[in-house]
Structure 1
């Protein structure tokens, strides 16, 4: 590891830069985490000082170094069927309401972000196949996005540890996975059901193509944002959703404290947020 001291002033400069690029705000309590990964990239790029590295980072037109740093700084910890009461809500309450109001036969579109290593998107795919009778009548598009290119590659590879699959129902595990040594390989049919894409939620150019979604799952991402970034994300989701579309957040997140663009809906399984049709 490079023998370079990252001063308090340098930490603040980097924190502000990273926030502007990603919307992610690092608190002082994350100082050791951030410093360690910064030093790793300083050493990897052969930079002699933080100033040299930071200058290179800011003026790298290719964005390659920023992406490498993003891949290091983002946290990807998840497992299959996490907070699965929302998946029950999706198949039992949300989707029946959506199809009842549909006036055409366009596919139902679901956007999942951050994708992390794919467990959430693949869990939704299994729930649709196993728990939603409407899957035989409706086409569904599942798109899962992340800012971390390395984790997206892992999601597409779909090879999982025993810990990741510990909450997968045994029947699903036998049906959709194959043992590979001590790990589990997801089958091609389910892997092909999800499209994984690279998206920076704070980049207007990145998110522009993402439109006409019926449902968005964005769980445990906004906790890493500050109020301004959360508001920007809420507006991005509003533009991405169809009228009356739904967004599912993590259990500790609340859209009511972020934006008036949504109303809370109480379903038997969960409280979710719905795009407000008209602003008063």
Structure 2
């Protein structure tokens, strides 16, 4: 079986012929790391060893992100989505928000910071924020909560001073209270078995992931996202993604700040 077919089966990601050098470089690095010189032997190892398969998948994931990315959706969250969701709830009720894929945690922490700064009712409800990613290495970085200046570039200075403490050099670390308020857990969007333990969510941010999938994987991911949403819940995709071309189970909603998709 070809390398690209294995990666597709394990992760849902598509890699074309133009990515051959990219693939060879990352597979070669894992072969060197494991001390296996023969490609066939290496892939036999990856197929039988979940830890090595996880390490190989980690090597292929894309983790470009920063704080307050696509903040128009964060504005929609505080101005329209959450006010609508809590309209029929009581103070203290649970509201669950899921960032998938969360990469090194910037999006999940951005949600927490944005709500503290922009939603007056944030303390009236039990807000649970979960970040998930296929790449377990970046989840470890997310839990640590340390970031370089580039990741913080869009944050107002006041926000940086309030929610980050200085680390070495120009790095900053999320304050403990905020870091402990966000939970991170591994998940594969095309594997329902990894999603079921997380339960259902009122809001899911799944941005700039489906563009890396083919039609079959997108359909599977859409079905899993639908099952992971609570009735009446909201799904936010990336600005170049549209659920209407993938699944007819969601209802599109045009909000003041963003286009989102809702589970009836």
* Counterparts in 2 of 1:270 and 1:136: CA distance versus 1, 3 Å: same
Structure 1 residue 101, shift from structure 2 partner: 3.3
Cross-structure match for 2:205: 217
Cross-structure match for 1:193: 181
In the alignment, is the contact (CA less than 8 A) between 1:158 and 1:185 conserved in 2? yes
Cross-structure match for 1:18: 7
Q: Is 1:59 the counterpart of 2:48 in the alignment?
A: yes
* Counterparts in 2 of 1:84 and 1:39: CA distance versus 1, 3 Å: same
Q: Is 1:273 the counterpart of 2:261 in the alignment?
A: yes
Normalising to structure 2: TM-score of the pair? Answer: 0.96
Unaligned runs of 5+ in 2: none
Q: Is 1:137 the counterpart of 2:163 in the alignment?
A: no
Structure 1 residue 104, shift from structure 2 partner: 8.5
Q: Can you list the C-alpha shifts for 1:235-270, whole angstroms capped at 9, x where unaligned?
A: 111111111110000001100011001111011111
Q: Can you list the C-alpha shifts for 1:94-137, whole angstroms capped at 9, x where unaligned?
A: 00110113379530000111110110011100111110011121
Structure 1 residue 59, shift from structure 2 partner: 2.4
Cross-structure match for 2:165: 178
Normalising to structure 1: TM-score of the pair? Answer: 0.91
* Larger-Rg structure: 1
SS of the residue 2:260 aligns to? strand
Cross-structure match for 2:195: 207
More helix per residue: 2
SS of the residue 1:202 aligns to? coil
Structure 1 residue 154, shift from structure 2 partner: 0.5
In the alignment, is the contact (CA less than 8 A) between 1:112 and 1:144 conserved in 2? yes
Cross-structure match for 1:71: 58
Structure 1 residue 208, shift from structure 2 partner: 1.3
* Counterparts in 2 of 1:103 and 1:136: CA distance versus 1, 3 Å: closer
In the alignment, is the contact (CA less than 8 A) between 1:211 and 1:239 conserved in 2? no
* Counterparts in 2 of 1:173 and 1:105: CA distance versus 1, 3 Å: closer
Unaligned runs of 5+ in 1: 1-11
